[in-house]
Structure formats: structure tokens, C-alpha cells
Amino acid sequence: MTEKDFLKPGPLLEGRPLPTTLSGLFPLPRQMNTKPERLEATRLLLTADTAGSGVDNALFDTVSDITELTRLIDLTLIDVLVWHKASVNYENGKCFQLTIMKGDLDILSRLCNARSSV
């Protein structure tokens, strides 16, 4: 599957894969060339009610990859992931741990206000 194929919703979602199956694809958006492509691919996967550890890990990856240059896109991606119930408690709250170590109050606020289940 190429990046162009990945960004086409038809072929990917036609067979109505299970949300947990789609969750296994979450490492792919991280390999996209740009963060806007990563955001678009993540949104595509989440439109199919994707759930599971792949989604939760994507939240951690985004928190760990945030840079000042791409901060707006990174924050949007964090918002999209927590809106779709990525667990902020994944692996004993490692998103919180990393965010506190970075001292990023904006991300900490987003994580604390997340709709994720405990």
C-alpha cells in the first residue's frame, strides 16, 4: 500500500474492516512525509471508529514528536485523537509523564480534559 493509496478512503474502508484491525494501521500515518499528511491519514482511519492500542499509541507518538515548527498541526492531531477516545492512560499514563517532563502546560491541559475512559 502506497501513501497515495492510503489517503483514498474507498479502497481502505470498502470491506468494512473492524476498528481493531484499522488500529493496527496506525504506524503508517507516522511514516508519512509531512505532518499534514499524517493528520489527514489519522482522520481517515478515525472516521471508521477505529479503536485500540494503535490509536492510543498514536497519541503518545504525537506528544513525543511535537515541535515548535509544527506545533499547530501536532496540537490538532492530539485534539483529534483524544476526541476519538485515544486513551490518555495508555501504558500507565506515559503521555502524562512525557508531557510533565517537557513542562508543556497546553498539552497537559488537553490530556486532562480528554474524554478518555479511566
Please indicate whether residue 111 or residue 114 has the higher confidence score (pLDDT): 111
pLDDT tens-digit profile of 43-68? Answer: 888 877 777 888 898 899 989 988 88
Report pLDDT digits (tens) over 91-108: 999 999 999 999 999 999
**Given a cut of 50, is residue 116 above it in pLDDT?**
no
Average pLDDT of the segment spanning 56-85: 90
DSSP labels, the chain = --HHHHT-HHHHHTT---HHHHHTTTHHHHTSSSHHHHHHHHHHHHTTT--SHHHHHHHHHHHHH--STTHHHHHHHHHHHHHTT--TTHHHHHHHHHHHHHT-HHHHHHHHT-----
Q: Is the pTM above the cut of 0.85?
A: no
Higher model confidence: residue 50 or residue 1?
50
